[in-house]
């Protein structure tokens, strides 16, 4: 495994691999890697000859009062995990390397970025789409793998790659969960033991929606009230949003009469966690 922190070096190494006819899979991350990232990396290993992983806590996707400085970082442990999975190239650039000079160009995906997380994080997706475009231009992968836990991000990046004719196949990988169902996230590290227990309210809520839809409930108002009832029982939990949306357009629906993505964000104290599932009427 080779570690390159400069754009010139990573480009040079990958040009050589491509010249030898090798395909490239790419897993962009913000580090503090957990089993969810490991699953993305394993998927990457299966899909191409060379696996590239970037580790970059991207400042432009954090709002002014968000957790950029506190975001957990542990490069040594991350490199060990990348090595364990058999990554070939790791790219952990500095912010100065990624944002040289005074950038005046951003990438914006309209519409899809306005609802769900975009409502409370209005600048977030522009930061994501801009940095992922830059990373795609640096790595030039054949495939890139993103987790379904960040479902809106996945939908936005798919749209972006389509709109910009970026020659990359975007793969969505299923959410990896702790044994009690909590979706793995680097931000779980912020939770106190008590908040960690309460955090299962996200998956409990989503599973309750799933069960009610399987029993025939289609009214989003009824499902919404049920989830709020569960959240009311957790003293540190505050709902940011609960949305029922079309899986591709992310347009809100009033009735679960077709496959629907149910997505939510919940604050546990200061920590904001997200999760989502697909529900399909009539499916067990």
Q: Is residue 61 a contact residue for ligand PAF (CB under 6 A)?
A: yes
Torsional class of 261: left (φ above 0), alpha (ψ -120 to 50), beta (otherwise): beta
The size of the interface with ligand PAF (CB under 6 A), counted in residues, is 10
For residue 183, what is the enclosing H or E element? Answer: none
* Of 263, 258, 257, 261, residue with least CA distance to 248: 261
Find the binder of ligand PAF among 7, 25, 29, 92 (CB under 6 A).
29
Nearest one of 206, 282, 219, 276 to 253, comparing CA atoms: 219
Contacts of 215 (CB under 8 A, 6+ apart): none
Residue closer to ligand PAF by CB (options 29, 198) is 29
Q: Which of 78, 148, 150, 275 binds ligand PAF (CB under 6 A)?
A: 150
Nearer Cβ to ligand PAF (150/234): 150
Compare residues 61 and 195 and give the one whose CB is closer to ligand PAF: 61
What is the number of residues in the chain?
284
Question: Is residue 113 a contact point for ligand PAF (CB under 6 A)?
Answer: no
Answer yes or no whether residue 175 interacts with ligand PAF by CB under 6 A: no
In the complex, what is the shortest distance from the CB of residue 54 to ligand PAF, in angstroms, rounded to a whole number? 7
276 Cβ contact partners less than 8 Å away, ≥ 6 residues apart: 148, 149, 151, 175, 206, 261, 262, 263, 264
The reply on whether position 132 binds ligand PAF by CB under 6 A is yes
Determine phi and psi for 120, rounding to 5 degrees: -95, -10
Q: Pick the catalytic residue from 12, 34, 37, 88.
A: 37
Task: Give the nearest distance from C-beta 197 to ligand PAF in angstroms.
Answer: 25
Cβ proximity to ligand PAF, 50 vs 131, nearer residue: 131
34 is a catalytic site residue: no
* DSSP 8-state assignment for residue 250: -
When the beta carbons of 92 and 236 are compared against ligand PAF, the nearer one is 92
- Closest C-alpha to 245, from 171, 128, 183, 156: 156
Rounded Cα distance, 89 and 215, in Å: 48
Q: How far is CA 71 from CA 32, 42, 46, 56, in A?
A: 9, 24, 30, 11
Q: Degrees (nearest 5) of the Cα angle 235, 238, 240?
A: 170
Smaller CB separation from ligand PAF, 94 or 255: 94
Q: Minimal distance in Å, beta carbon 122 to ligand PAF?
A: 16
- 58 is a site residue for ligand PAF (CB under 6 A): yes
* Position among 128, 155, 156, 206 found at the interface with ligand PAF (CB under 6 A): 128
Work out how close the CB of 74 gets to ligand PAF at its nearest, in angstroms, rounded to a whole number. 15
- Asked if 133 interacts with ligand PAF (CB under 6 A), we say no
Judged by CB under 6 A, the residue of 14, 89, 131, 143 near ligand PAF is 131
Q: Which stretch binds ligand PAF (CB under 6 A): 11-19, 126-134, 246-254, 259-267?
A: 126-134
Residues 162 and 45: beta-carbon distance below 8 Å: no
CB atoms within 10 A of CB 266: 24
> Which residues are known catalytic residues?
37
Contacts with ligand PAF, residue ranges (CB under 6 A)? 28-30, 58, 61, 128, 131-132, 150, 153
């Amino acid at each position: 495994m080779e570690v390159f922190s400069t754009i010139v070096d990573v480009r040079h190494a990958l040009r050589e691999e491509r010249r030898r006819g090798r395909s490239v899979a790419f897993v962009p991350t913000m580090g503090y890697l957990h089993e969810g990232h490991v699953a993305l990396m394993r998927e990457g290993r299966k899909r191409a000859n060379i696996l590239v992983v970037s580790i970059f806590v991207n400042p432009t996707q954090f709002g002014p009062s968000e957790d950029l400085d506190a975001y957990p970082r542990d490069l040594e442990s991350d490199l060990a995990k990348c090595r364990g999975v058999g990554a070939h190239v790791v790219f952990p650039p500095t912010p100065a390397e990624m944002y040289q000079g005074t950038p005046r160009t951003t990438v914006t995906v309209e519409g899809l970025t306005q609802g769900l997380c975009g409502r409370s994080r209005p600048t977030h997706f522009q930061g994501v789409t801009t940095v992922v475009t830059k990373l795609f231009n640096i790595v030039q992968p054949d495939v890139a793998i993103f987790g379904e836990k960040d479902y809106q991000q996945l939908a936005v990046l798919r749209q972006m790659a389509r709109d910009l004719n970026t020659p990359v196949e975007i793969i969505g990988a299923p959410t990896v969960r702790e044994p009690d169902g909590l979706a793995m996230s680097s931000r779980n590290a912020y939770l106190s033991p008590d908040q960690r227990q309460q955090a299962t309210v996200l998956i409990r809520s989503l599973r309750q929606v799933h069960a009610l839809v399987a029993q025939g409930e289609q009214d989003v108002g009824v499902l919404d009230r049920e989830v709020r009832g569960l959240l009311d029982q957790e003293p540190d939990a505050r709902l940011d949003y609960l949305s029922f949306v079309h899986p591709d357009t992310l347009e809100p629906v009033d009735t679960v009469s077709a496959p629907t993505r149910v997505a939510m964000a919940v604050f546990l104290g200061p920590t904001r966690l997200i999760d989502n599932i697909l529900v399909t009427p009539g499916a067990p």
